[in-house]
Structure 1
Amino acid sequence: MSAEPTAALTAELTAELTTVVRLASQHHPLLVNVGHGRSAASLERARSFVETWEARGGQVGEVVSWPTEAASWLRPACRMVTGHPDLWVVADEPEGWTGMGRRLVATGVWRPCRTIAFAGLAVPELPALAGEEATEGLRGALADGRLWLVSEGQLVAG
């Protein structure tokens, strides 16, 4: 996670990151695991969260990346639940989250209601693509800092 942020991306990310950190703080977690897809935007969001969270005195356990396509996503899913974190933070796009979310559900440990996500997952199609078990209760921040939530199979934003 050593990619240097560009000034434009950092400015764009500020409101979104602030909301993700605020949502995470509301859970008072002792341990947060962070996961991200492999796009530059997902990597930057995850890196920014880790730096901000640790600067505030928070503890980050595992930082896990996964590809958009994989045979099973077993290894990254197992790493995401390592240490039984109190909360997960995710930066990805729907294409990568579809498989990874399903694999996380299969661990029996991960819960979408204990997961905060960045704007990349805030698309109306996500519940249909990834399934209810991988999305119900998932919430996060839009790029402008407003909240979003998946409730009853629908993305509710604003």
Structure 2
Amino acid sequence: MKKLTHLLVFATLLACNKDPEPEKEETPKKIYFTGITESNDVGIIAKRDTTDWRFNDTWVEQEAKLFPTAGEASCTQAHNHNIFAFPNPNKGLIKLNITKLQATQVQIRLVDKEFKVILSRDSIPNGINIFDLTASAPKDTLRLYYKFIDGSCVYKGHGDILVNE
């Protein structure tokens, strides 16, 4: 009986000294680029994707890391901001139409499906902004992430853009 007690004590000590297993890194959630809001050369929308060009996105860490942050809070109050890209699909020449208040800062990140940043701007003016990506954009669906920043209030979203030919 004495030997059994010693054996149990010894086994317990071995179990207590076991190194903890290292924490496994969580694999980022796969983000799929599906559907586009189709529009012609002058910006008339032919078919709308209900997830694109809105201001109510909840981003996962991978998406949020595309932008610097500084005490920003997502906002749900009414606003007059607007953004969309045209034509969609296109051949690499993208027109981005921005409507915002003068004091509102607009930041954008255009990424491919592997989250490689193709275009990054931290100050986009009102009106139509033209970006020629014919030499740098892959012929695929890309995603444009955007943030409209009013002081500490942030409106954020995304829109998918198809570059073909």
Pick the TM interval, shorter chain. under 0.3
After TM superposition, the score normalised by the length of structure 1 is 0.25
Higher helix proportion (structure 1 or 2): 1
After TM superposition, the score normalised by the length of structure 2 is 0.24
Higher strand proportion (structure 1 or 2): 2
